[in-house]
Amino acid sequence: MTKILIVDDEKPICDLIDMNLSAAGYQCKAVQDGLKAIDLIDREMFDLILLDIMLPGVDGYDIMDYIRPLKIPVIFITAKHEVRDRVKGLKLGAEDYLVKPFDVVELMARVEVVLRRYNKTQKLLTAGDVVVDVEARQVTRGGKKVVLTNKEFGLLVLFMRNKNVALFRETLYEKVWEGEYFADSRTLDLHVQRLRRKMGWENQLVAVYKVGYRLEI
């Protein structure tokens, strides 16, 4: 299982990230102190570190210097939004730089991109009796193969990587159709309806009023 360390001095942010990554199948640990983060990195192996810059004890830049020889990919997550801060973080070796406040869906996408770059992405996604082999593009439900269209498969993967997260219609459409969403379009709704039937998720894949859809697992 992919293991991720979250380092942020704001516990609510740690809890939010932990909840969403754990729901997507990642194993997470979170600390709010720079020295505690270094101690944990010395004792355990991590596939990715989500790192704040302004931390008690030791700041994120110093932690980045410390772990660079370990070749662990890092995404900075910080309120420091100036261009010089981004440049410094990237020059220190960070794979990405995300400014607070951030959208959870964007964070999940960036995590997936970095893990894929390092060949550490999850190969299998699970939700109940549904199993998705992302690389092979194969889906089973209760051990039986399910045939999906490309758009249905894209929606399924997006929902399974963001379990229990309300996803905006615009986000779903733009990620799967790679185009601008139009409010009067029924395309997304029709695809979600078909996906519900094929996955047996009539009660799990729910509509969220004025937002979009959420997979409740």
What pLDDT is recorded for position 178? 79
Please state the domain extents for the chain.
3-117, 124-215
Residue 46 CB contacts under 8 Å (≥ 6 apart), including other chains: 3, 4, 5, 29, 72
pLDDT for res 35: 94
Tell the residue number behind the tokens 């709010």, with chain if given. 32
Cis peptide before 101, with omega less than 30 degrees from 0?
Answer: yes
CATH architecture of 124-215: Orthogonal Bundle (1.10)
Is CATH 3.40.50.2300 correct for 3-117?
yes
The ranges of the chain with pLDDT < 70 are 121-122, 181, 183-184
CB 119 within 8 A of CB 111: no
Tokens of 108: 């999940």
Which residues have a Cβ under 8 Å from the Cβ of 119 and sit 6 or more positions away?
Answer: none
In tens, the pLDDT along 149-201 reads 999 999 999 898 888 888 888 888 888 887 776 766 789 999 999 999 999 99
Q: Is there a contact between 37 and 45 (Cβ–Cβ < 8 Å)?
A: no
Question: For residue 196, how many other CB atoms are within 10 A of its CB?
Answer: 16
